[in-house]
A and B are shown apart, each in its own frame.
Chain A
Amino acid sequence: GAGVSQSPSNKVTEKGKDVELRCDPISGHTALYWYRQSLGQGLEFLIYFQGNSAPDKSGLPSDRFSAERTGGSVSTLTIQRTQQEDSAVYLCASSGHLQETQYFGPGTRLLVL
């Protein structure tokens, strides 16, 4: 079956612009995660969705970051008024539940000029 997909694969934007990153999780997976990975660094947790429960937003670095998950499937991560320090790879993962194996997408490489 299909794995986790993300789009776009690469995004170049200008400082101050808004960007939207998309994640299509594995069908049937109720848990969805967003992470950020800066060059040469580990993964930084951003936000977690589980079914219809309120998302765990504890990792979002500022109020410029937000995420939605429509219909319990596709998720969109939005970064408003992008800054150069937002440049990173944004990874999405899904699993059957919080405690289960996470399956990662290929990531979106964001470059803010």
Chain B
Amino acid sequence: LAKTTQPISMDSYEGQEVNITCSHNNIATNDYITWYQQFPSQGPRFIIQGYKTKVTNEVASLFIPADRKSSTLSLPRVSLSDTAVYYCLVVPISSGSARQLTFGSGTQLTVLP
């Protein structure tokens, strides 16, 4: 299982760029890296997914180095509404056990005014 490790919490101020790094040392060749966001009293919501280098969408960017043993979620110019828990998830591309979909404890991001 590609276990992930993230910081438990992070604080930031409105307007700043926030980078959350996830370690996944045992990632397999065919695994994707996926990030979810969870607000209180809601289910997680997909943010971004990537395999290597850089992926960008309207919400965030995902940076993945060549060795793929870590990834960094970048949130540009955060606002108070970005306060949430962010989960890094390693998803097997090939058929595998759903048991491998380990969300972990995530990173609590708190954006301060």
A contact residues vs B (CB 8 Å cutoff)? 4, 33, 35, 41-43, 45, 48, 56, 58-59, 91, 93, 98-99, 101-107
Given contacts A42-B103, A42-B104, A99-B93, contact A33 B98 (CB under 8 A): yes
Max chain A C-beta neighbours (<10 A), residue from B49, B93, B97, B104: B97
Residue B81 is within 8 A (CB to CB) of chain A in the complex? no
In the complex, A48→B97 CA distance in Å? 9
Which residues of B sit under 8 angstroms from A107, Cβ to Cβ?
41-43
Contact A56 B49 (CB under 8 A): no
CB atoms of B99 and A58 under 8 A apart: yes
The reply to whether A102 and B46 contact each other, CB–CB distance below 8 Å, is: yes
Would you mind naming 29 contact pairs between A and B with Cβ atoms under 8 Å apart? A35-B103, A42-B106, A43-B44, A43-B87, A45-B98, A45-B99, A56-B98, A56-B99, A58-B97, A58-B98, A59-B99, A91-B43, A91-B44, A98-B91, A98-B96, A98-B98, A99-B32, A101-B34, A101-B46, A101-B49, A102-B36, A102-B44, A102-B46, A104-B45, A105-B43, A106-B41, A106-B42, A107-B41, A107-B43
- 3 A-B pairs with least C-beta separation: A104-B43, A48-B98, A43-B103
Set B44, B87, B92, B97: member contacting A56, Cβ < 8 A = B97
Contacts from B to A (Cβ < 8 Å): 32, 34, 36, 41-46, 49, 87, 91-93, 95-99, 101-106
Please determine whether B105 and A41 come into contact, CB atoms closer than 8 angstroms.
yes
Greatest chain B CB density within 10 A among A43, A105, A106 is at: A43
Inter-chain CA distance A93–B43, complex, in Å, is 9
CA distance A53 to B103 in the complex (A): 24
Return the chain B residue nearest A31 by Cβ: B98
Bound together, the chains give a CA A28 to CA B99 distance in angstroms of 23
